[in-house]
Amino acid sequence: MSTNRLEAFSDGVLAVAITLLVLELRVPPIGGHSTLAHALLAQWPQYAAYVTSFLTIGIIWINHHAMIGRLREADRTILALNLLLLLTIGVLPFATDLMATYLKQSRGQHLAAAVYSGAFLLMSIAFVSLNGHILLSKSRLLGLDLTLEQRRKILLRGGIGIVPYLMATALAPVSPYITLGICGAVAGYYALPVGSGG
């Protein structure tokens, strides 16, 4: 099976998921003595969670592109693992909404943060699993010659991405703001020009 339609379908799911995030941004009503400025500022967790999730899905798209670009063709195991990866991406709008809703609440904020970074963690694990499967078990499907050494290095570089999400999830019981801060820093570092090394 060629990788064209695998890319097309994955791009579709990623494009829809990244754009659906906007549904989490809600037009606020204005209370009695409040102003729209105040109401908009008060929902800053929505913007923070939105930007973090948007950039994170964007990074995944870039990395997914690189991963599939190395493939010459796909078999059913790769399709299945890719589907699991898309499943973890598909729930991100929900996890983002949960985080934005509860970040400032006294009740639920720690769990919401754990679910949020936990969703990113799951996504990273799914990504590394698929990448590891391609690079190690199915390397005969690769379109380029890479030594075992090179393949391990690529895998390791991607695998490191799991670490900050582990930390962010572990720190959710301490402070949901730290969790969001770590996830946002990862997104900013990898997505923005400064982190990409041009």
Distance in Å, CB of 179 to its own copies, minimum: 15
What is the smallest separation between the CB atom of 131 and its own copies, expressed in angstroms? 15
Closer residue to its own copies in complex, CB, 13/149 = 13
- Amino acid at position 111, single letter: L
Buried b (16+ CB within 10 A) or exposed e, 117-130: bbbbbbbbbbbbeb
- The residues that touch its own copies, with contacts defined as CB under 8 A, are 1, 5, 7-9, 11-23, 25, 27, 30, 35-37, 39-40, 50-51, 54-55, 58, 61-62, 65-66, 69, 75-77, 79-81, 83-84, 86-87, 90-94, 97-98, 101-102, 105, 107-108, 111-112, 115, 191-193, 195-198
From the list 128, 138, 10, 8, the residue with the least C-alpha distance to 72 is 138
The smaller minimum CB distance to its own copies, of residues 140 and 149, is found at 140
Say if CB 120 and CB 183 are below 8 A apart.
Answer: yes
Q: What is the 3-state secondary structure (H, E, C) of 7-32?
A: HHHHHHHHHHHHHHHHHHCCCCCCCC
Nearer to its own copies, 147 or 197 (CB): 197
Nearest approach in angstroms of CB 186 to its own copies is 14
